[in-house]
């Protein structure tokens, strides 16, 4: 009789075979050692990524059309055979020991149902110049060197017990960029659920050229800002237009004063938020 895997690692992807190849090279050996399965979920038809996944020995599932990362995660949950379900992004690099640390934390805290670890930015090819006062221009997470309960972790490095997914329900597939995992975690904590940060279960979040170039990061930040504003409106916490404008001006001043290219990316996000706020008023 075939044994059920100890965990299922679900990796949503969409036309990023190069990133996925690096992620799987770091994750699959750890999964085999732990008796876990790796499931790559393509967000729409993606033969190249499917080929990379199969070459690494991962299972593959595909959505019939591009529907967003949350739709891919939901399909991954339905297809997964293990418990817990570990969500990671396709652009990570997991160091040796990452999965052991994550699963050890799950075992050590039976009353918790959601877990996450540090996410460290790795901009390859140089990346934009930073003054050191601002966070990296891509997703990071660091609550320090001690395990602790937290309000939020990111789905680039998150483990969830199946019972929590069954109780809370699916990820909201209408959320494409901002709020995708946050919405689910807010619903989860509203049921009394607890989230545990595991300091030793860290991985790296990568960007390579041309994705690490200032222009590309700024373009992505602008779109993220627009989506972030929409999500804040949905939550009822969107700041006034004047506040959004002050943030844009503050970013511009930071760039001029510090000669900080990271400020350009932050300014692009702020500009996206302001653009969306103005569009709201015009509607």
Domains of the chain: 8-207 (3.90.550.10), 214-282 (no CATH)
pLDDT recorded at residue 138: 72
- Residue showing tokens 């001006």: 249
Quick one: DSSP state of residue 39? E
Q: Give pTM, 2 decimals.
A: 0.89
Section 253-259 average pLDDT: 87
Asked if residues 98 and 78 have their Cβ atoms less than 8 Å apart, the reply is no
Alpha-carbon gap, residue 75 to 68, rounded angstroms: 11
- CB contact burial 39-51 (16+ within 10 A = b; e otherwise): bbbbbbebeebbe
Alpha-carbon gap, residue 99 to 117, rounded angstroms: 10
Asked if residues 264 and 218 have their Cβ atoms less than 8 Å apart, the reply is yes
Alpha-carbon gap, residue 75 to 43, rounded angstroms: 10
Instruction: State percent of the chain over pLDDT 70.
Output: 97
Instruction: State percent of the chain over pLDDT 90.
Output: 67
Section 70-83 average pLDDT: 97
pLDDT recorded at residue 228: 82
Cross-strand pairs, 260: none
The encoded tokens of residue 109 equal 């805290």
| Averaged pLDDT score across all residues of the chain | 92
More confident residue, 228 or 104: 104
Q: How far is CA 208 from the centre of its chain?
A: 17
pLDDT digits (tens, 9 = 90+) for 112-170: 999 999 999 998 887 777 777 777 777 789 999 999 999 999 999 999 999 999 999 99
pLDDT recorded at residue 178: 65
Q: Is the pLDDT of residue 179 over 80?
A: no
């Amino acid at each position: 009789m075939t044994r059920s895997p100890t965990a299922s690692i679900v990796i949503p992807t969409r036309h990023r075979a190069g990133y996925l190849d690096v992620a799987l090279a770091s994750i699959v050996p750890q999964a085999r050692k732990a008796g876990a399965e790796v499931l790559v979920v393509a967000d729409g038809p993606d033969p190249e990524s499917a080929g990379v996944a199969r070459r690494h020995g991962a299972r593959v599932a595909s959505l019939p059309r591009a529907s967003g990362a949350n739709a891919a995660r939901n399909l991954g949950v339905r297809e997964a055979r293990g418990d817990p379900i570990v969500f990671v992004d396709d652009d990570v690099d997991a160091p040796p020991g990452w999965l052991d640390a994550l699963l050890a934390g799950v075992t050590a805290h039976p009353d918790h149902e959601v877990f996450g670890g540090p996410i460290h930015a790795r901009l390859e090819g140089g990346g934009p110049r930073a003054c050191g006062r601002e966070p990296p221009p891509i997703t990071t997470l660091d609550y320090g060197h001690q395990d602790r309960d937290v309000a939020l972790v990111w789905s680039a490095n998150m483990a969830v017990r199946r019972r929590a997914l069954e109780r809370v329900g699916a990820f909201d597939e209408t959320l494409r960029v901002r709020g995708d995992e946050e919405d689910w975690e807010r619903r989860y904590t509203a049921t009394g659920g607890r989230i545990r940060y595991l300091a030793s279960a860290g991985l790296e979040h990568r960007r390579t050229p041309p994705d690490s170039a200032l222009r590309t990061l700024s373009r992505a930040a602008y779109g993220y800002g627009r989506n972030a504003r929409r999500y804040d409106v949905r939550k009822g916490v969107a700041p006034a237009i004047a506040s959004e404008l002050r943030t844009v001006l503050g970013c511009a001043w930071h760039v001029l004063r510090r000669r900080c290219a990271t400020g350009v990316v932050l300014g692009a996000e702020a500009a996206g938020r302001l653009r969306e706020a103005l569009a709201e008023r015009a509607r």
